[in-house]
């Protein structure tokens, strides 16, 4: 009877650690762990729980020769070679259910801030400037909202806006049927969504199919003045195309919680120039990948992952009550 050795590489709610420890696990909680150091120790662990900084590619999965599972705090699985892990009989868990509400609330806040000039007028009031007309807002009511990707967060965002008097349309290549709670959402083609939406909200995983989906061609199909919101993955949007659209007025505004490069210290000269241009724009609202980052989601993600790990029966010598 050996213990399960579990490595956790990022901040988690204590509930997850305590829950694993009560199930025959020895938990190493090391939030300073990086990819290089991990390569030297991963063989010691039966399970690993990661966030975005650890990349579980084929090489690292091979080094983790005792791994029974890889668990992701949050949703994005682009950091894990899922097919290779499954081939090696390693379970992969993620927890989009844990922060779907957080992302939806955050995006709604960003959108309201953008459309009502809240960020700019807040800064002006603090400087004793009182300019009401310049900061006249625009209402969501009566607009058409297009949601691309109707999974956990896309659905949650749609549900939030169900009573706001918008027309909500969506495109999801892989979702054939909508639940009763989304009956108000109209299924349309991507072409119709881009041509009719005043606001486009992206809720997509990062895959070969979705990478730079929003580029020059996509933006050219949109309505003039469209607002683009991205709380999914930065590389779904080509930043240079978005900036061009914002400069010409084809794109009226953007709410961005995610970016192509989220490490300012690693910007190339070219990226520095590009992001400086974006950061100077008043018709964008920007946050540092925190849409799913709430006190409640920290707990929710821990509860969901613990439940999935225990129910998945991928711990050795552990009897789980079902």
Ordered by start, the domain boundaries in the chain are: 4-98+296-311, 100-286
Find, among 225, 60, 209, the residue nearest to 148 by Cα: 209
Q: Which of 195, 217, 247, 262 is catalytic?
A: 262
For the structural domain made of 4-98+296-311, what CATH number should be given? 3.40.50.720
- Active site (annotated) includes residue 209: no
Whether 269 contacts 79, CB under 8 Å: no
Span 250-292, pLDDT tens digits: 999 999 999 999 999 999 999 999 999 999 999 999 999 999 9
pLDDT of residue 322: 33
Instruction: Please answer whether residues 108 and 291 qualify as being in contact, where contact means their C-beta atoms are separated by less than 8 angstroms.
Output: no
Structure tokens at 150: 């109707």
Q: Is 42 exposed, middle or buried (0-12, 13-18, 19+ CB in 10 A)?
A: buried
Beta strands in 128-205 (DSSP E): 144-148, 167-171, 186-187, 199-202
Catalytic position from the list 13, 100, 120, 233: 233
Tokens of 126: 């603090």
Tell me whether residue 224 is exposed, middle or buried, using C-beta atoms within 10 angstroms of its C-beta: 0 to 12, 13 to 18, 19 or more: exposed
Q: Which of 186, 260, 289, 303 is catalytic?
A: 289
Considering only the C-alpha atoms of the chain, give the largest distance between any 2 of them, rounded to a whole number of Å.
Answer: 72
The confidence score (pLDDT) of residue 114 equals: 98
Residue 66, SS3 per DSSP: coil
What end-to-end distance do the CA atoms of the chain give, in Å? 21
123 Cβ contact partners less than 8 Å away, ≥ 6 residues apart: none
Per-residue pLDDT of 111-163, as tens digits, reads: 999 999 999 999 999 999 999 999 999 999 999 999 999 999 999 999 999 99
CA dist., res. 212 & res. 216, Å (int): 9
- Which residues lie closer than 8 Å to 128 by C-beta, 6 or more apart? none
As to burial, measured by CB atoms within 10 angstroms (0-12 exposed, 13-18 middle, 19+ buried), residue 318 is: middle
Catalytic site residue 289? yes
Each residue's pLDDT tens digit, 163-201: 999 999 999 999 988 889 999 999 999 999 999 999 999
- What mean pLDDT, rounded, does the chain reach? 96
CATH topology of domain 100-286: Rossmann fold (3.40.50)
Give the ranges where 52-151 is alpha helix by DSSP (H).
Answer: 58-63, 82-87, 100-115, 118-126
Measured CA to CA, the distance from residue 298 to residue 98 in angstroms comes to 8
Q: Which residues contact 5 (CB under 8 A, 6 or more apart)?
A: 25, 26, 28, 44, 45, 46, 47
List pLDDT tens digits, range 2-60.
689 999 999 999 999 999 999 989 999 999 999 999 999 999 999 999 999 999 999 99
On the question of pLDDT at 319 being above 70, the answer is no
- Quick check: 1 pLDDT over 70? no
The reported pLDDT for the residue numbered 320 is 44
126 is known as an active-site residue: no
């Amino acid at each position: 009877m050996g213990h399960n050795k579990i490595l956790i590489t990022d901040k988690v709610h204590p509930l997850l650690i305590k829950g694993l420890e009560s199930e025959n696990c020895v938990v190493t909680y090391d939030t300073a762990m990086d990819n290089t150091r991990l390569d030297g120790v991963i063989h010691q662990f039966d399970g690993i729980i990661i966030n975005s900084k650890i990349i579980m590619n084929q090489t690292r999965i091979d080094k983790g020769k005792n791994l029974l599972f890889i668990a992701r705090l949050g949703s994005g699985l682009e950091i894990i070679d899922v097919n290779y892990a499954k081939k090696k009989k390693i379970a992969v868990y993620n927890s989009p259910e844990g922060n779907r509400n957080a992302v939806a609330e955050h995006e709604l806040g960003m959108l309201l801030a953008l459309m009502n000039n809240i960020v700019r007028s807040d800064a002006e009031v603090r400087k004793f400037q009182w300019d009401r007309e310049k900061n006249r807002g625009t209402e969501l009511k009566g607009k058409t909202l297009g949601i691309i990707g109707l999974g956990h967060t896309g659905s949650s965002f749609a549900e939030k806006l169900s009573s706001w008097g918008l027309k909500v349309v969506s495109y999801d290549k892989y979702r054939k049927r909508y639940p009763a709670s989304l009956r108000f959402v109209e299924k349309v083609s991507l072409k119709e969504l881009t041509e009719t939406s005043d606001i486009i909200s992206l809720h997509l995983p990062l895959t070969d199919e979705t990478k730079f989906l929003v580029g020059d061609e996509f933006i050219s199909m949109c309505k003039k003045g469209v607002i683009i919101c991205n709380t999914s993955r930065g590389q779904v949007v080509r930043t240079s195309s978005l900036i061009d659209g914002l400069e010409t007025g084809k794109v009226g505004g953007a709410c961005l919680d995610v970016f192509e490069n989220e490490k300012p210290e690693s910007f190339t000269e070219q990226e520095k120039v590009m992001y400086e241009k974006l950061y100077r724009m008043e018709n964008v609202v920007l946050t540092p990948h925190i849409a799913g980052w709430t006190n409640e989601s920290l707990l929710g993600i821990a509860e969901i992952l613990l439940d999935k790990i225990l129910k998945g029966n991928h711990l050795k010598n552990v009897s789980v009550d079902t």
